[in-house]
Amino acid sequence: MTEQLILVTGGTGMTGSRIAHRLRARDVPVRVASRSSACRLDWADRTTWNAALAGASAVYLAYAPDLAVPGSDDVLTAFTEQAARAGVGRVVLLSGRGEPAAQRAEQAVQRTATTAGLAWTVVRCSWFVQNFTEGQFAGAVRAGELALPVDDVVEPFVDADDIAEVAVAALLDDGHAGRTYELTGPRALGFGAAVAEIAAATGRPVAFRPVPLAEFTAGLAEEGAPPEVVELMVHLFTEVLDGRNAAPAAGVQQALGRPATDLTDAVRRSALAGSRA
Ligand SMILES: NC(=O)c1ccc[n+]([C@@H]2O[C@H](COP(=O)([O-])OP(=O)(O)OC[C@H]3O[C@@H](n4cnc5c(N)ncnc54)[C@H](OP(=O)(O)O)[C@@H]3O)[C@@H](O)[C@H]2O)c1
């Protein structure tokens, strides 16, 4: 029997780092892999895949920069095939809600895993609360104003710690094979309301300002964001955030038997709440 070793791709990112932390706390052997990790894995460089997969019994798949990038389904098909050849028994895919390209990637992983005899689980997530507190928009929140090209759309922001707990359960326990969990927070909130709750929870003054898309993309370009990042943001704000994902889903309750964490509670635990600098 293969010894237990969990490969966490994107293991330095928002979800992967939480998963690796939880697995280590349970004394489960973990290998973190990303471009900057001791075990170097680059989705764009297939020569790095074998070393990352060697000896792994299960894999957390967090594709970067985003499943919306054309060809992500092909890369994940090839990686899952290689994982099967390396003796991996189980994969857990991080995916995005209401995104056609992400759903194509899910199908590619499900199909390939099923054919190769691997168990699979999909964690299909809404917008992470942590985008505001440690991800792309944390700098603006810290600086006191978040300007985004959204108006009254609502989103049930999900806590990355909830995602990590579901992923860990799916990586370790047999009962989650073949399941697709829709992971969201318990309440849908507009961005203005979310920012107001973040301000209250952290004790920081933070304003929200809706801006036209052109102003937003010009600002990103000015800050030096590469064109592909600008393109991803346009896709996110024009297609994904059109209200299609407004309804909260029951994935956290289904997977963990407890309610999803509220945005305010997730923000109170964040570093942003701990430091006022
Ligand atoms: N943020 C959201 O609201 C949201 C919602 C739903 C789904 N998602 C999905 O979440 C995924 C990102 O996961 P995350 O938010 O946990 O991570 P993250 O915080 O965005 O960090 C990205 C991770 O991937 C690694 N990475 C970046 N480019 C890579 C490459 N070319 N090859 C290998 N590793 C690479 C990074 O480390 P290095 O820099 O060291 O390589 C890092 O560990 C994306 O697929 C996105 O579609 C995000």
Residue 210 exposed, middle or buried by CB count within 10 Å (0-12, 13-18, 19+): middle
Query: In this predicted structure, what is the pLDDT of residue 1?
Result: 42
Average pLDDT of span 62-89: 97
Domain count, the chain: 1
In a domain, 95, yes or no: yes
Angstrom CA distances, 32 to 8, 9, 157, stand at: 5, 6, 26
146 CA to middle of ligand 1, Å?
22
Residue 240 lies in a domain: no
> In angstroms, what is the span from residue 72 Cα to ligand 1's centroid?
13
**For ligand 1, atom 4: residue with the closest CA:** 127
Q: What pLDDT does 271 receive?
A: 83
Centroid of ligand 1 to alpha carbon of 137 (angstroms): 15
For ligand 1, mutation pick of 7, 14, 93 (most atoms within 8 Å of CB): 14
Q: Are 33 and 55 in contact (CB under 8 A)?
A: no
Dihedral Cα 214, 217, 222, 227, nearest 10 deg:
-130
More confident residue, 228 or 20: 20
3-class SS at 102?
Answer: helix
Does the residue 236 lie in any domain? no
State the average pLDDT for the chain. 95
Burial of 268 (0-12, 13-18, 19+ CB in 10 A): middle
Q: How far is the CA of 1 from the centre of ligand 1 (A)?
A: 31
Query: 236 C-alpha to center of ligand 1: Å?
Result: 15
| Confidence class for position 6, pLDDT limits 50, 70, 90 | very high
The pLDDT value given to residue 239: 85
Residues lining ligand 1, CB < 6 A? 10-16, 34-37, 41-44, 62-67, 94, 96, 125, 127-128, 131, 135
Q: Give the span between the Cα atoms of 170 and 6, in whole angstroms.
A: 12
Please check whether residue 73 lies inside any domain of the structure.
yes
pLDDT digits (tens, 9 = 90+) for 143-154: 999 999 998 999
> For 215-220, what is the mean pLDDT?
93
CATH number, domain containing residue 62:
3.40.50.720
The residue whose C-alpha atom lies closest to atom 41 belonging to ligand 1 is 35
* Domain-embedded: residue 217: no
Query: What is the spatial distance between Cα 255 and Cα 142, in angstroms, rounded to a whole number?
Result: 33
Say if CB 167 and CB 197 are below 8 A apart.
Answer: no
pLDDT of res. 86: 98
Helix (H) or strand (E) holding 256: helix 251-256
- 81-90, 227-236, 252-261: the lowest-pLDDT one: 227-236
β strands within 77-193, DSSP E: 90-96, 119-125, 145-148, 154-155, 179-183, 189-190
Residue 275: the pLDDT is 60
Output the residue whose Cα is nearest ligand 1's atom 24: 10
Q: Which of 15, 45, 134 to mutate to test the pocket of ligand 1 (most atoms within 8 A of CB)?
A: 15
Which range marks the domain in which residue 59 is found?
A: 6-126+160-184+247-260
**Per-residue pLDDT at 131 exceeds 50:** yes
Give the predicted TM-score (pTM) of the model: 0.97
The residue that leads in pLDDT, 76 or 228, is 76
108 part of a folded domain:
yes
Is position 86 within any domain?
yes
Does 80 reside within a domain?
Answer: yes
